Amino acid sequence: PYTEVVFNGVKNRTFSFTFKMVARNKGEQENIRRIINEFKFHRAPEMLFTNQSNYWLFPSEFDIQFLHKGGENPWLFKISTCAMTNFSVDYSPEGVMSVHDDGAPFSVEMSMEFTELEVLTKNNIKSEGF
Q: How far apart are CA 4 and CA 119, in angstroms?
A: 24
Q: How far apart are CA 47 and CA 56, in angstroms?
A: 5
Q: How far apart are CA 105 and CA 92, in angstroms?
A: 8
Consecutive H or E run containing 107:
strand 107-116
Which residues are within 8 A (CB) of 8 and not within 5 positions of it... i.e. 6 or more apart? none
56 forms beta bridges with 47
Give the global pTM.
0.82
Low-confidence stretches of the chain (pLDDT < 70) are 50-53
User: Tell me, what's the pLDDT at 130?
Assistant: 80
CA angle 112, 117, 119 (to 5 degrees): 120
Q: How far apart are CA 21 and CA 77, in angstroms?
A: 25
User: Tell me, what's the pLDDT at 2?
Assistant: 87
User: Tell me, what's the pLDDT at 50?
Assistant: 66
HSE toward the beta carbon, residue 23, CA cutoff 13 A: 21
User: Tell me, what's the pLDDT at 67?
Assistant: 95
